Structure formats: structure tokens, C-alpha cells
Structure 1
């Protein structure tokens, strides 16, 4: 066999393997987005998103409302909000989330704001530290459907026994076109994380 033909076959196999990897990852994200795990856990962790002068964005609000439903269902006795402050912001995402939940009827004794984290990976790292301080080991992670698989994986990699219960409301699930864009973005972000162990900045809740 000529070297040229061998190289072409190797290149073709590599391209095929890459396509299969991307496709299978996208399908896994799509499948995971349709799951809803609600085991009894130590805490419900709500990943932050944009807030405006202390008022959660529509994406963030949908997550918080879902967390309230899980809390009222008795999934966990504590809700943890996580997320730092963007440049120029007066409030952190975690703080805005905590106040929304408190105003929504959740006891402040059942709320913990972890006011750090600029992306999903950093958020999971600081949440894991908080879990260690409180002796917690298990969590139900609340985020958008397409973000759930990567968020759950990052939590597990930080030593948290994590399941995900994504919200079914909000802009991230409004149209099929939006869903497709989120799946493509999450596929790239998930593969980057698995390859490098690092996160990537993106749209709110995607980094």
C-alpha cells in the first residue's frame, strides 16, 4: 500500500472518529436534558446567571423557581445559590438569587449564598469547598436543560455526589432553534472540558 493511500485512510478514520465523538456527545446532552433526578440530597445547588441590580434575569428566575419547587417537595433542606459579581455590578448572582428565594417564601435559615464563581467550573469548585465546610456530600443541581450534563460532571469531578434537575422554563427552552444552538455550544464546551479540564467563557450559565 502506498504511503499516500495509508495517510488518507488514517486521516479519514480520524475525521470519522471526531464526527462520531461530536455526534454522540450532542446526543448525550440532548438525552440528559430530558432527565429529571430528584433524590433526597444535602442541598439544592442553583447555578447563577445574569442579574440586573439585584433582579435575576429570566434565565436565572426560571432556575430559582424550579429550586423552590424542589425545596417544597422536600428534595433537600438547603438551597445553595452560587455566582460572583461582574465588573460594575453592585450585587453578586448568589446574593440576587438568595434574596429572590427569600422573597419567594424560603426561610433564610435554608439559604446559603456562595458569592464567587465566574463560570461553571469555578462555581463548582467554590461550592465543593462550601460543601466540605458543612459536611455535605450530595446535591441536586439546577440549571438549564442543555447545561445539565456538563454541570453535573463538573460537580462530580469536585467530589460532589450530584444529580441534575433542569428547569423546563425560560428562554433556553423556548424554541427549537434556541435549543439547537445551546446543544451545539454545550457540545463544544463539554468536549473542551473533558480534553483540558478547563471551562470556557460563554453566554450566561454556559461558561
Structure 2
């Protein structure tokens, strides 16, 4: 009986991983609603660039780059990305208080409250979006509108496996109130 239960759980785990791997988040549709803010979570290629592209298109008023290294400046990012100095000066904030996805959501909550924003476009990698969106929905007021906007990547098997396990463990810890 225990072996059957273990086999069943292992089967569920494997099917869950397969489903997780083939249903990665996608970029938001072109007609997705405009939001007051964009929150970009650092840690992967193309994320900041995607946020700047959305700001340049007028998809939001202001952008937070959550989890930025404290030594990074706006001028560093302008040099790295190229151009857009005016956009960075007026409308981009660097958040360096967070170190993981959970604290990114907490940092974003404080920033959104400070500015009085009630909607945000969340930008992160496709493989990271499910957990990031879960953390943000858990940390933010339920009235805040979140529009997920994933950056397409080509994640490896180990990246997907690690992220799936992090997602499951976080859901379990929230469910058990740990």
C-alpha cells in the first residue's frame, strides 16, 4: 500500500513537472491593458530591456527594477542598454532591498503603496513567471491588478527542474503557513 501511494505521488510529481515545462508563461498580448507601473525582477537576460521597451511604448507611468545590485546606477544601465537616459531619469526606480522572489514582491508592495498604484505589469523570465506571480499575488493587496509579461527564454532542464521544485515548496509552505 505504501509503495502504491509513493508510486502515485511520484507519478503526480512527474506529470506536474511535464505540465510545468510545457506551459511556460508568454509575453503579454499587444492589447493587454495599460498599467500604472511595471515591476521588473532582476536575474535574467532581457528582463530590464523588456521593461524599458514597455515604458517607451507608454504601457505604464513608472518602473521599478526590483533586486538591483546596490552598486548599480541608472547611468550604468543606460550605458549597458543604450540610450533612454531621459526615461531612466524620470521614470525608473532601482530597488536594492530584495534578494529573492519573495522579497521582490515585498519590495514592490512598498513601492506600489508609496506611489498609490493599483495595477502593475510584472516582467520576468518565462520559466520564473509562475512562482513570481504567485509571490506577488500573495504579497499584494487582492485589489491590485497584475498583468504577467514574460520574457521568452530557452531554459535548460536543470533550470526548469529547480524552478518547479521551488514553486512546489513555496506553495506547500504557504499552504502549511510555515
Q: TM-score range by the shorter chain?
A: 0.7 to 0.9
Contact 1:117–1:126, Cα closer than 8 Å, also in 2: yes
1:149 matched to 2:127? The reply is no
CA distance in 1 between partners of 2:145 and 2:94 (Å): 20
Task: Report the counterpart of residue 48 of structure 1 in structure 2.
Answer: 42
Asked if the contact 2:26/2:151 (under 8 Å) is kept, the reply is no
Hey, what's the Cα distance between the residues in 2 that align with 1:28 and 1:123? 22
Structure 1 distance, partners of 2:158, 2:99, is 22
| CA distance in structure 1 between the aligned counterparts of 2:39 and 2:18, rounded to whole angstroms | 24
Match 2:60 to one of 71, 76, 86: 76
Structure 1 residue runs without a partner (length 5+): 1-7, 50-58, 199-207
What residue is the counterpart of 1:182 in the other structure? Answer: 159
Q: Quick check: which has more Rg, 1 or 2? A: 1
**SS of equivalent to 1:141:** strand
Residue 12 of structure 1 pairs with residue 17 of structure 2: no
Residues in 2 aligned to 1:73 and 1:133: alpha-carbon distance in whole angstroms: 24
Q: Deviations over 1:81-129 (max 9, x none)?
A: 11154xxxx61xxx44675158531242211222211111111111111
Q: 1:34 corresponds to which residue?
A: 26
**Does the aligned pair in 1 maintain the 2:67–2:99 contact within 8 Å?**
yes
| Cross-structure match for 2:106 | 125
Structure 1 length normalisation: TM-score?
A: 0.69
1:124 and 1:155 in contact (8 A); partners too: yes
Contact 1:152 1:163 in 2 (8 A): no
Give the TM-score normalised by structure 2: 0.79
Give the drift of 1:30. Answer: 3.4
RMSD of aligned residue pairs (Cα, Å): 2.6
Aligned length: 166
Q: Distance in 1 between matches of 2:4 and 2:75?
A: 52
Give the whole-Å Cα distance in 2 for the aligned partners of 1:116 and 1:79: 16
Unaligned runs of 5+ in 2: none
**CA offsets per residue over residues 132-156 of structure 1, 9 Å max, x none?**
1211122111111100111111111
